[in-house]
Structure 1
């Protein structure tokens, strides 16, 4: 039996989160959504986000569990119970339900797709051990060649799958094409991480088991160039109150903006929309807080002046009224014009880093 490296990354299935030595790592779904604009449901209502999508995800989890049980034990456990979370923390409507699913059709389709392959591993964790981690649904061996195939299982309704891609709302002609492009990036990332963690092993192929109760397909998926995948994995992120915010300095390397008219290209943002939204929210908060702070400072200074208090310690902060003074300034520009040689004699130069300014527009 072929052995693969066991990643030190810890995966928590309930929260679907990854940790390494106490540090949180992110999966790659948000990365692909945010930087490439693939697989994003932009028009989803709160009801769809809170209930319809989690319910579909619950059935998908049931399918994954049935496949893993079959691969590891040879048992067709077609009835699966999934502890499913509905709702949203921000809307304070979270609830948990134990959903029971019959996934016999999906499991039989999976077994048909497995013909000619040998299952080697399920839910294999791979990571760059710096920023990203993920679990490969299936690692198969092609019996004819002995080669390794990385296989993902999808249960999406492709009739409803978003056609957006690379920040173009109608980039694809069909949900199937859109899902395959998403899979191409997802599985290509898996391949890079798998090969990095298992030196000497090469991935021969990528594929997807698309499984629905009334339809199924086995797709061979194209692998993206390594240089593009590694560039995508350089994407940094930081955590905001609303979740992770991703940043890549040049999304054009992934083709974003290349299909836009010339007059629009210059306005194409170099960061994902959620980064723009995050900064806009911070700037608005800062502007409002700054105005309130100035108002409060004026009132506090007036109160301290009235009570003839120059300095006071309030516990969590202190306030001090400085003494009035007269400042003297030197007109460098005029002096340089009137006495250029003398100015040159006493002037010195040193490198200074350029400033960085973020300004909230008035209409925002």
Structure 2
């Protein structure tokens, strides 16, 4: 069997102007991927946030990107905690740098730069995106998932025979807070790839100037029930508050009269006496006795999935 040919990444031919963040292919300007996601899914992402805060966050993120790129390109560690953490993550997850700010395009309408490309084998690559948010909310994570999935599609299309392996967010942050402590974050967040045909449909829909229907978004069947769900939750909360008030009054009265049980024909009230509960602090015990093997004593049980609704 012939050995696999080592794939060399292809130059997109796109000229990126970092100052005004534009992509030029020949004499045609191409759209970036981020504006597509803003238009289609996250139009209010920065709504209500003062411009100076958005600008400061962007400046911080650009600095972290540049420092990490300097390390990958020149093996220079500038001593910042973010770069130290980046080096540690690369070692922990066995990331072999192949390219930074690698430009991909569909050759006609869209182009974008992938923060990090890591070589896995002769024909397989991992793609990473550096984020410096204070918190990777569900919305931010979902945006990065779409972003990386589209990158993967364009990457494989541009580099024939290449395969994309893992997609992940490189979450780095070390900003001082008002109280003098540091908001220190260093983690890799893996995301599941969205199929290329869905990504292609998104770009085609955006190109037509139409609104894309997100197959991962909440179905209209449930969206239309939002008002009744909210009303039921609020009613439940009001009922529980009223019931708890009645129970507290009954308990206090029973305690004053030293009564354990009251009953009617259809209801029984039983007062439970105060007590103490003891529990074993496994985490602390493990810290104090790391030499022990706990697996043989651990009992694993299945926990059913559940739904949480916040209104």
- Does TM, normalized by the shorter one, top 0.5? yes
Aligned residue number for residue 115 of structure 2? 137
Aligned residue number for residue 58 of structure 2? 57
CA RMSD of aligned residues (A): 2.4
Aligned residue number for residue 204 of structure 2? 234
Aligned residue number for residue 130 of structure 2? 153
Residue 37 of structure 1 and its aligned partner are, at CA, apart by 2.4
Q: Which moved more, 1:69-78 or 1:179-188?
A: 69-78
Q: TM-score, normalised by structure 2?
A: 0.62
Tell me, which stretches of 5 or more residues in structure 2 are unaligned?
A: 1-5, 175-183, 228-311
Q: Which moved more, 1:175-184 or 1:109-118?
A: 175-184
SS, match of residue 48 in structure 2: coil
Residue 135 of structure 1 and its aligned partner are, at CA, apart by 0.3
Q: How does 1:118-137 map to 2 (within 5 A)?
A: 118-137=96-115
Structure-2 change in CA distance of 1:185 and 1:3 (3 Å): same
Q: TM-score, normalised by structure 1?
A: 0.54
Contact 1:38 1:182 in 2 (8 A): no
Q: How does 1:74-113 map to 2 (within 5 A)?
A: 74-78=75-79, 104-113=80-89
Residue 68 of structure 1 and its aligned partner are, at CA, apart by 1.0
Separation in 2, partners of 1:233, 1:199: 20
Contact 2:123 2:161 in 1 (8 A): no
Q: How does 1:1-364 map to 2 (within 5 A)?
A: 3-37=8-42, 40-44=45-49, 48-49=50-51, 51-78=52-79, 104-115=80-91, 116-142=94-120, 147-158=124-135, 175-213=136-174, 214-237=184-207, 247-248=209-210, 250-251=212-213, 253=215, 255=217, 258=220, 259-261=222-224
Structure-2 change in CA distance of 1:142 and 1:252 (3 Å): closer
Structure-2 change in CA distance of 1:250 and 1:39 (3 Å): closer
Alignment length (residue pairs): 210
Contact 1:2 1:120 in 2 (8 A): no
SS, match of residue 133 in structure 2: coil
Separation in 1, partners of 2:167, 2:154: 14
